[in-house]
Amino acid sequence: MAKKERTDILYYKDIKAQKKKISFAIIFTVIISIFVLQLSKSQKDFIYVVPKIKNFEILNSNIRKYTLKNIVTKEEISNVKQINILNGSIFYNVPNGEYLVEGSYLGDSDEIDLIKEKDWEKVYLNLEGVSFSQLEERFLNILTLCLIGFNIYLYMNTRQKLPKKNILNFMFFLVTLKIFFGLRIDPSNNILIFVDFFVTRFLLFMLIFYCLKNIFPKRFKKLKKLIYFILAFIYLYNVVIGLIICSPQVLVYFLNGHITFLKIISFARKYIDLTRVLFFIFLITFMTYKNKIKRGNILSWIVLWITYFLLEFSKELFPRFENLGYFIDIMEIFCVYWALVFYTFKIYSRNVLRTILYSIVITLSYVSLFYFKNISQAAIVLGVFLLLDFYAVIINKIMAVEDKPIEEIYNRLCLIDNIKDFEKFLKKDLKKALPLEDVFVKILINKKEIYDYVEENPQDTNIIPTELLKNKNYDYAYKIGFNKNKEIALIFIKEGDEPLTIGEQNFLLDLSYKISNIINKLRLETLYKGLK
């Protein structure tokens, strides 16, 4: 059997095996969930207290307090057990009767009289932590809608370079939905809470799997297995939390018979979350390829990593800013998603990225000002803009392409007058300029020749992924076009142990665009000779 055929068989077997694993996990989850929900139906004698915080996931149980008191004596009932969970609190082993429920959150407080007559009760307290006027609420929602609009604008301007079948297209829909849940609406609806919870976890799992497949160093096989084990554990406790959102009786079931398991879940939710896994995947990848960083860019990368660290660990570093936590999570996911789009499909644009940074920082500045009620300091807004411009400069420095090597290669190729020599010398120059394992250059005389090398010709992108290549030994191929003819040449790329940096990818794109006129000239000369 030929090597190409063996590679194709292994590739499709791998996809089939992954689909089977996902299907098994879904079926297993549904069966276990139904079983646990049925077991917990008998739980009763508890009160579930929920604050009306306007963003769904406020999970820090250390900054709020709830008490259950005797409605007559106003004294706290001491023989009732309590645990704070998700964005509320559970009082269990509570018999029917009249009670006074009190709660406080970030200086805000509320209370309600309750007559418990059913097996269990759900009580809502009017706690927000930070209150806003109707005008301010509308303004915050307008900012969120602007971010949704900007996200869609970005996608509309880049979707032509994204293959239609790529998973990043579907992830865009989830990112947009996640931003939509940033609107300050009443989270008392359990369906909305669960949908938000599910969308966030599903999106983060997809981002992690995408990174493990496309950017994580291939040689760290044991470490990848450890990450998969951690993800399985995270998946387990997220299933449990999802069930608790659907029915607080599940929580009481675990409290009464599996308290140790519940404590492990609570600890894991606080310190071993999906965003942390994503952070460490990027960190490991970065440390693996850090030797490829130019000395002049070291400071710039340090600044970016400090920023990413502050975003990821903001809840621990700045516990007072808990109400900003949800919006920070949105911005972190937003930035990670678009960074992957730019990296994978080599569509980085300095002007576009600078616009992204301006929009993000402006949005964050206004939201933070409204959260902290500190509008009097105009210098804060000015400082945000200066900080924005600083980050734009250092990112441009990291991703800039050096023009000198491109000009040198271009000038040499201009002297070549036949296709075979052009393909040979371009291959030689690319292997010299970039750390590639293999390169194959093919100039296409006729448009139909492209189907000798690809299963399908994607019209909407210049990057052809390995799934569409007939030769699976290459990681991807660049499709070079000239004017209206989009298929005049192909450059097949097989990366080495270290994937190309963004700057090296931009080098390839800029060189491909630069030499397209030479390739077109050689093709036309060949066609003209064939007509004689």
Among the listed residues 132, 135, 225, 148, the one whose alpha carbon sits nearest the alpha carbon of residue 181: 148
pLDDT for 377: 44
Distance between CA atoms of residues 303 and 35, nearest Å = 49
| DSSP-assigned letters across all residues of 186-197 | -TT-HHHHHHHH
From the number of C-beta atoms within 10 Å of its C-beta (0-12, 13-18, 19+), residue 112 rates as middle
Band of the pLDDT at 510, cuts 50, 70, 90?
A: confident
- The tokens for 293 are 């960083």
pLDDT for 339: 81
Average pLDDT (469-498) is: 87
SS3 content of the chain, % helix, strand, coil (to 5): 60, 15, 25
Distance between CA atoms of residues 160 and 142, nearest Å = 28
The residues that bridge with 70 in the sheet, in sequence order, are 99
Neighbours of 102 (CB within 10 A): 18
pLDDT for 7: 45
pLDDT for 249: 83
Average pLDDT (282-304) is: 80
Q: How are beta strands 97-105 and 64-70 bridged, if at all? A: antiparallel
Distance between CA atoms of residues 61 and 65, nearest Å = 8
Contact present, 69 and 75 (Cβ < 8 Å): yes
Judged by DSSP in three states, 385 sits in helix
For the segment 239-255, what is each residue's pLDDT rounded down to a tens digit?
A: 888 888 788 888 888 87
Highest mean pLDDT among 49-53, 65-69, 104-108: 65-69
- The tokens for 503 are 């700057």
For 142, list phi and psi in degrees, rounded to 5.
-65, -40
pLDDT for 175: 92
For the segment 125-170, what is each residue's pLDDT rounded down to a tens digit?
A: 877 666 666 777 777 777 788 788 888 888 887 777 777 777 888 8
Among the listed residues 427, 421, 453, the one whose alpha carbon sits nearest the alpha carbon of residue 440: 427
Q: Is the pLDDT of residue 58 over 60?
A: no
Q: Is the pLDDT of residue 78 over 90?
A: no
Percent of the chain at pLDDT exceeding 90: 6
Distance between CA atoms of residues 108 and 129, nearest Å = 5
Distance between CA atoms of residues 28 and 241, nearest Å = 16
Beta strands in 56-119 (DSSP E): 64-70, 81-85, 88-92, 97-105, 108-116
Q: Is the pLDDT of residue 48 over 90?
A: no
For the segment 84-100, what is each residue's pLDDT rounded down to a tens digit?
A: 776 678 888 888 888 88
Give the pTM.
0.70
- Tell me the H-state helices in 247-297: 248-257, 259-271, 274-288
Band of the pLDDT at 369, cuts 50, 70, 90?
A: low
pLDDT for 19: 65
- The tokens for 289 are 């390829």
Contact present, 409 and 428 (Cβ < 8 Å): no
Contact present, 248 and 90 (Cβ < 8 Å): yes
Judged by DSSP in three states, 51 sits in strand
Q: Is the pLDDT of residue 350 over 80?
A: no
Average pLDDT, the chain: 78
Among the listed residues 518, 516, 467, 464, the one whose alpha carbon sits nearest the alpha carbon of residue 493: 464
What DSSP designation does 107 have? T
pLDDT for 404: 56
Average pLDDT (490-506) is: 83
